[in-house]
Amino acid sequence: MENFAGRVAVITGAGSGLGREFANLAATLGMKLVLADIDAHALEQASSTLQAAGADVLAMVCDVRKAAHVEELADAATIRFHAVHLLFNNAGVGTAGLIWEHSEADWEWVLGVNLWGVIHGVRVFTPLMLESARNDPAYEGHIVNTASMAGLLVPPVMGPYNVSKHAVVALSESLYHDLRLVDAPVKASVLCPYFVPTDIAHAERHRPDDLRHDGPPTPSQQASQALLEQAVAAGKPSAADIARMTFDGVRRGDFYICTHPHVMPAVADRMDAIVHGKPPADPYAATPHYTARLKAAVKR
């Protein structure tokens, strides 16, 4: 997809972080916007700012864990704009700590947003996009699923997040193959950023009441969460930079959009370990000081 002006972008997790930057860039390219987020206040701020700058915006509070919410989002987008051309299944949350210490609620929350949100987006919007293609020979569509380098690597103390993002990569690859089978004018990409300074390390504030912790966090969860917040805050490039890289990838038709090339040797090490039957490679081999800090913090 090379032309964006006048076309429609649907973005989940649009109130902050990558989603907000996708919306900002899409607006500057002349796209019409359908913005969704569970945070009503952040969503209103984003929507108002974009509308004041002249963008045509439909904003809806949406919990992507829930199929009905995503279906309502698709219905509203179709009624308002008649078609969807660019879909960002982007909403995401994270949690930290030793994998056996996560509660059932932790798993339900992370998998609900990160994985089921993408499942619902693909299941609901892909048929609409294919229908638009049948009705318009000039139609072009593209679906971008936000995974993570944690979908290509397996960092310690990020178990539920890793599982969810590996599943998003597999889902996206499946989508790519299935779209090719039907010769669809709809392409797919999976976005795999590394640490980016967004609000994801503080996603806990948006956790639904029915999935709250039953008790206080464990020492490992406290320690790894603190280190995760530091790593995210220090991340480079910025969310706006990642948005530009993503749109460039959409223009080129890239499937894998990996925004931090310096991390790719670690991905190669992981693949090499799999192929040669070795133990899992250390994803932080290039930054042993971080592994040492993490190990010391968790042991305390």
State the Cα–Cα distance between residues 277 and 271, nearest whole angstrom: 10
DSSP string, 54-116: T--EEEEE--TTSHHHHHHHHHHHHHHHS---EEEE-------B-GGG--HHHHHHHHIIIII
Give the pair of three-digit tokens for residue 138. 């000039």
90 CB-near residues (< 8 Å, 6+ apart): 11, 12, 13, 14, 18, 19, 22, 144, 146
List the catalytic residues: 161
- 176: helix, strand or coil: helix
Rounded Cα–Cα distance for residues 191 and 90 (Å): 9
